A = this chain, B = another copy of it.
Amino acid sequence: MNKKGTMDSVSRSAKEEMFRQRARVIWLFGISAAGKSTLATGLEARLHAQGFATRLLDGDNLRAGLNRGLGYSDADRSENLRRVSEVARLFVDAGIVTICSFITPLRAQRAMAREIIGAADLLLFQVVASYAECARRDPKGLYARAAAGELSQFTGRDSSFEEPLPGDGVVRIQTEGVAPEASLEELHGHVLPYVRAERAETGGLRPES
């Protein structure tokens, strides 16, 4: 019995070729209500319609299952994001375009994702809107609850959100004062060259422009 080659029985590149795509992890981060979920679901729908094999990972499907039992302390958020990164790695190795949507408030957490997934396979996007605008949108009522003192560890209020630094290779997608369709169009335009087989770039992501 041969115990070697477990991972190589079918290579990632063979799967990417079958899907006629390049696998990448597209990681959207930003404060609550900035528009991550809307962009993530919109991007997945659009890529699927174009024939890409995709998977969306977000708090809704991860925290209810794999990451059940983890809370919102910095340590638990980091373990949550470590597991997400490892799962994203498993999907990208299966040739799948993987979209992650998580607040990911700390630079160290984004660095960990890059470490686990690999810089060449990770596209980091900050979904940007001001705290005031997100509090105004407040689709889940979280900002109101935080203002009433009902939530602890609320990102942007009790818990810090660290802005990316210029060298972090993050593309900013503005959602404040921009129509949702326009933000999606911009995100999709950034992503497409990296996942298209015909003219996929090989390394990393575009520098912030």
Contacts and interface: CB of A to CB of B under 8 A. Distances in A.
B90 A60 contact: no
Interface residues of A, number: 50
Given A48-B15, A51-B18, A94-B96, A65 B86 contact: yes
B9 A42 contact: yes
A130 B91 CA distance: 35
A142 to B, nearest CB: 10
A55 B90 contact: yes
Interface stretch (A33-41, A150-158, A161-169, A186-194): A33-41
Copies of the polypeptide in the assembly? 2
A48 B53 CA distance: 15
Contacts of A1: 33, 35, 37-38, 137, 139, 175, 180
B116 A61 contact: no
A78 interface: no
Closest 10 CB pairs of A and B: A9-B41, A66-B86, A55-B94, A65-B86, A10-B48, A3-B139, A6-B60, A9-B44, A1-B38, A9-B45
16 contacts: A1-B139, A2-B38, A3-B37, A5-B41, A6-B58, A6-B60, A7-B60, A9-B45, A10-B48, A10-B56, A53-B94, A61-B93, A66-B83, A66-B90, A87-B87, A94-B96
